Homo-oligomer: A and B are copies of this chain.
Amino acid sequence: MARVVQKYGGSSVASADHIKRVAARLQACRANGDDVVAVVSAMGKRTDELYALAGQVASTPEPREMDVLLSTGEIVTSTLLSMALHELGLDAVSLTGAQAGIRTTSVFGRARIAEIQTERMERELNAGRVVIVAGFQGITEDFDITTFGRGGSDTTAVALAAALEADRCEIFTDVAGVYTADPRVCPEARPLRDIGYEEMLEMATTGARVMHARAVEIGALYGVTIRVASSFDDDAPGTLIHGEMTMEQGNKVRGIAHQNHIAKVTVRGVPDRPGIAAHLFEPLANANVSVDTIVQNASVEKLTDMTFTVAPSDLDSALTVVEGVRVELGAAEVVHEPDLGTVSIIGTGMASAPGFAALMFRTLFDSEINVDMISTSDIRITCVIASERVGDAVRALHTAFDLDRED
């Protein structure tokens, strides 16, 4: 008998029929003698509908209220799944984030889990019930409802698996696992059998939307092995995300990630003195502009160029802030480019082996794709390129790094 935490995403619970199918899957789990905790997302497009409702009553909905509103989406799914299990003759109980004991910080919209009080869940599991937890939400010390941001139900699932010392944590979604690249862009892409936490984090933050990055961090922190698989295909093995280094991982690029839409801002001719970066990026942070890649060019005659990328939705705010700072810094000018994208190669093996960067740049050059900016980590190299060439770059790199064929 194992203890299993399973998460079902929005597309897996999109309708009453979908929910009944998930109930049948949980029934099979129970028939195996497993203790099951299911974490659920809001049905299909319900979160979008709730955002739209909020937009009809307020131009900038109050964050505390937004969190309470959004939390209802997951709660509705959790009750329907519990009803469907009762209908099959299984005992089940739905729990809101608060009822499941998920205590969080009080940053509305992107709260972090502070503690999980497992007493209620343990009691329900011991009573033989399937426990269904509304994902993506918790409650603060002051008894205010919080949410974790888009994709936050993954985080609920992995954190519950850690707190309940589950034997398995399974994230069910509408794709067959973590792919070597986005299959919509690269037809040769295929699901990986396994991937390390750090690699997965780099994949998640540079464009692979299959997992919430925070969930991967928690998995790494508590050593939770996570299986990502399709809820629509019982036979597919999915991808294991874990900390063990396998033969497969050694000395290899594991995946190609990409982002289609980013914008670039450059401040030209900044007098080079200590503290420029702080002067530039503190006001951006205060204006809630999330900055991605940052590159500072070598100083020429005591003048330097500072370049960074932002989401297109943040470009206007960024330009407003930066123009103010430009005057203060005595910089020459601010220029920007809106239609850029990124392509990244990711793999733990890269850290200890040379030649990956060279092959990446050669491949892009051979495809006549111009590289605008470069940034690197131990296990990732990212190139900023023109948005319309992102697809070509992904396909070319997928082939060049030998990802087209089965391991």
| Interface positions of A (Cβ within 8 A of B) | 16, 19-20, 23, 50, 53-54, 56-62, 64-66, 68-69, 72, 75-76, 78-84, 86-87, 92-94, 96, 98-99, 120, 143-145
Closest approach, in angstroms, between the C-beta of A81 and any C-beta of chain B?
A: 8
Please indicate the chain B residues that have their CB under 8 angstroms from the CB of A50 in the complex: 76
**Beta-carbon nearest neighbor of A132 in chain B:** B65
- Is B84 touching A58 in the complex (CB atoms < 8 A)? yes
Nearest residue (CB) in B for A61 is B83
A–B pairs, 11, beta carbons within 8 Å: A19-B57, A54-B83, A57-B81, A60-B87, A62-B82, A62-B83, A65-B80, A69-B76, A69-B80, A69-B83, A120-B143
Asked whether B96 lies within 8 Å of A16 as measured between CB atoms, the reply is: no
Q: Are A72 and B76 interface neighbours, CB within 8 A? A: yes
Cross-interface CB contact of A57 among B64, B84, B98, cutoff 8 Å: B84
* Pair A83/B96 contact, Cβ less than 8 Å: no
Q: Which of B53, B58, B80, B145 contacts A86 (CB 8 A)?
A: B58
From known contacts A62-B86, A83-B66, A93-B64, infer whether A143 and B57 are also in contact, taking CB-CB under 8 Å.
no
Is there an interface contact between A75 and B76, defined as CB atoms closer than 8 Å?
Answer: no
Please name all residues of chain B whose beta carbon is closer than 8 Å to the beta carbon of A72 when the two chains form the complex. Answer: 72, 75-76
Shortest Cβ gap from A251 to chain B (Å): 50
Q: With A65-B94, A68-B75, A94-B65 as known contacts, state yes or no: A83 contacts B99, CB within 8 Å.
A: no
